[in-house]
Structure formats: C-alpha cells, structure tokens
Amino acid sequence: MLRLTLDMDDVLANTHKKLVNIILNDFDSLLTEEQLHSKALKELLHPKQLKRLNKIIDSPGFFADIEVMDGAKETVYRLSHFYEVFIATACMEFPTSFKDKFDWLHRHFSFIPWTNIVFCGYKSIIHSDYLIDDHVRNLMAFKGEGILFSAPHNLQNRAFKRVANWEEISELFLPVA
C-alpha cells in the first residue's frame, strides 16, 4: 500500500480563513477579505500586526475550532481505503497547539489512528510516497512526490504539481467511482 501524508493547516483545516476573520473583525486594518486571500499574510500585514497574530496563534484554544476544509473529511476517509494515510503537521514552533491539534484531528478524522499522526518541525524527516502540503519549503525538503495545495502564499509557485481543493485530490488519487 502506498503511503500518502497530509499536512494539516490549510490542507485539512481552513486555518487561513480563521486568520482572515480575526484580521477583519479584531484588527484595525483597511485590507479587504479579497486582498487577505490574495497573497501571504506576512506580505500584507505590518510586523507589529504579524507579531500580534502569532501571539493569537500561540494561545490555547486557537486550533480547537478551526473549520474543516471543504470535502476533506469524505475524501480522506475514501483515501484511507487505498493508501496508508498519515497526517503530519509542523507545529513545533507553537508548542501550545499540540493538545488542540491532536484533539481536533481526533474529533474530525477519528478514522485516522493515533499511530499515523506526526508533529514535526522539518518535513524532510517524513518517509512517505506522497506529501500534500501548502508550503513550498516542506515539499522542497521532502524526498517523495510533493503535491502543492493552493493557498494565498503559494500562488506563484510553478515547481510542483498543484491541487486547488479536495475534489482535485480525489480526482488525482482515487479510482473513478
């Protein structure tokens, strides 16, 4: 069975959407929702705003209520019948998030056993046939075949095969029903 490893933030979980909502509601910013979805937040926000946002991300509970990405649950469930599915999230930068992330995965993807969950720093450590991730740096470090999941911060990249959503992952990895 081939192994397929999935990133969590902005692949399984709509983390960017939660950040955009926080900026729109709580930050004194003139950026529109459309602009906030057009490129990396680190290119759009002031350093002070980024620092404030990082503090929010590193608060207990931030990861607890993030929305599941459209179609992710159903597609991952089907994928788990054809692949050995692992979930790998680079969360060592935010140690406060460990428990929230683990609980979130258990709540929304309970069919993925705890044996197949990985919290890491660099994804070069991941031994897998495929990795679906929104960060080019993770795919660059990865030794298998990397698939880029479209996100505002990676729209310019042309180096990796790209998927725009879970429907496209389904088309790429699942047999025609």
* Active site (catalytic) residues: 7, 9
3-state secondary structure 149-174: ECCHHHCCCCCCEEECCHHHHHHHHC
> In the bound complex, what is the minimum distance in angstroms from residue 34's beta carbon to a copy of itself?
34
Report the C-alpha gap between 93 and 125 in whole angstroms: 16
User: How many residues are present in the chain?
Assistant: 177
Identity of the residue, 75 or 138, whose beta carbon is nearer to a copy of itself in the bound complex? 138
How many Cα neighbours within 13 Å face the side chain of 136? 11
33 versus 122: smaller Cβ distance to a copy of itself: 122
Token pair in block for residue 94 = 């935010």
155 binds a copy of itself (CB under 8 A): no
Q: Does 120 bind a copy of itself (CB under 8 A)?
A: yes
Nearest to a copy of itself of 85, 163 (CB atom): 85
Is residue 75 near a copy of itself by the rule CB under 8 A?
no
Pick from 121, 143, 146, 119: nearest CA to 132: 146
Query: Using the rule CB under 8 A, which residue among 111, 124, 140, 172 binds a copy of itself?
Result: 124
Residue numbers at the binding site for a copy of itself (CB under 8 A): 5, 86, 88, 92-93, 95-96, 98-99, 102-103, 113-122, 124-128, 143
